[in-house]
């Protein structure tokens, strides 16, 4: 379970000060897919970066399975599987070596590591690329590898920053299936997106974020009912009060 309480984060000082996250609060529950939806620059990535302790919030609290990220960041990262915005691979290593590197950093035993890696390779349908060097991988192959290495330690909580970014239709569908299968395994899944259909099709809960604030936190159906709009996209535009950034 991921809990975010009154999160604040700003960059720069004085006149250049930019408030990225301005008092965001929400909860992502186990066995659910929670979508963090917002236009570009709404503070999604910054919120997620605070979650996996890459950044320290100016104020507010983050609890992962009840562990305070400010108190024990290493324990928090152990409970998280993270696909960040930056998903670079080591191009002189094979996909398998990329995955194993992260598994070892998690301190996983060899046997467990092999079993997990093989299971992920099947689930992500990437067995054929496992022993190829990642240089020259397609975008889809890169994302698969990045997801496999993020999940090799079998984390209870999974954070994905725009996971379908740059993927073609087939890869996107495969990704959705994969996310759903993780949900049925009882994991807590939090992913960010600015694409409506994706969020609508997948999420049990949608957290709409605009200008660093949470403007809605409901199930898709409730969201539609609340705003009185038939389509999720219209509901979204109404919530953030502008249609800027949606086109991107």
Q: Which residues bind another protein (CB under 8 A)?
A: 49, 52, 54-56, 74-78, 80, 82-93, 97, 101-102, 104-107, 146, 149-150
The smaller minimum CB distance to another protein, of residues 51 and 210, is found at: 51
Residue with tokens 């093989």: 118
The smaller minimum CB distance to another protein, of residues 137 and 236, is found at: 137
Q: How near is the Cβ of 122 to another protein at its closest, in Å?
A: 22
Q: How near is the Cβ of 222 to another protein at its closest, in Å?
A: 32
The percent helix, strand, coil of the chain (3-state, each to 5) is 40, 25, 35
Q: How near is the Cβ of 149 to another protein at its closest, in Å?
A: 7
Name the CA dihedral angle for 238, 204, 215, 26, rounded to a multiple of 10 degrees. 180
d(CA 101, CA 93): 10
The smaller minimum CB distance to another protein, of residues 103 and 223, is found at: 103
3-class secondary structure, 54: coil
Q: How near is the Cβ of 170 to another protein at its closest, in Å?
A: 24
The smaller minimum CB distance to another protein, of residues 92 and 170, is found at: 92
Instruction: Supply angle C-alpha 106, 109, 111, rounded to 5.
Output: 130
Element housing 217 (H / E): strand 213-218
């Amino acid at each position: 379970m991921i809990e975010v309480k009154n999160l604040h984060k700003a960059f720069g000082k004085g006149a250049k000060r930019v408030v990225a996250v301005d008092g965001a609060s929400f909860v992502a529950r186990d066995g659910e897919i929670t979508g963090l939806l917002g236009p570009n620059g709404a503070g999604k990535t910054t919120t997620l970066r605070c979650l996996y302790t890459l950044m320290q919030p100016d104020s507010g609290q983050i609890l992962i399975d009840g562990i305070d990220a400010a108190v024990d960041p290493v324990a928090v990262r152990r409970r998280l599987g993270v696909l960040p915005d930056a998903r670079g691979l080591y191009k002189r290593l094979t996909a398998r070596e990329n995955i194993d590197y992260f598994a070892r950093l998690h301190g996983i035993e060899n046997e467990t590591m092999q079993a997990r890696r093989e299971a992920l390779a099947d689930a992500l349908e990437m067995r054929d690329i496992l022993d190829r060097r990642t240089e020259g991988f397609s975008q889809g192959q890169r994302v698969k590898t990045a997801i496999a290495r993020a999940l090799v330690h079998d984390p209870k909580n999974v954070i994905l920053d725009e996971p379908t970014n740059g993927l073609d239709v087939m890869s996107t569908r495969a990704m959705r299936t994969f996310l759903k299968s993780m949900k049925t395994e009882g994991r807590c899944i939090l992913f960010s997106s600015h694409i409506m259909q994706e969020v609508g099709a997948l999420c049990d809960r949608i957290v709409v974020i605009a200008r660093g604030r949470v403007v809605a936190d409901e199930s898709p159906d409730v969201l539609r009912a609340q705003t009185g709009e038939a389509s999720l996209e219209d509901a979204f535009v109404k919530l953030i009060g502008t249609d800027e950034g949606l086109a991107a």
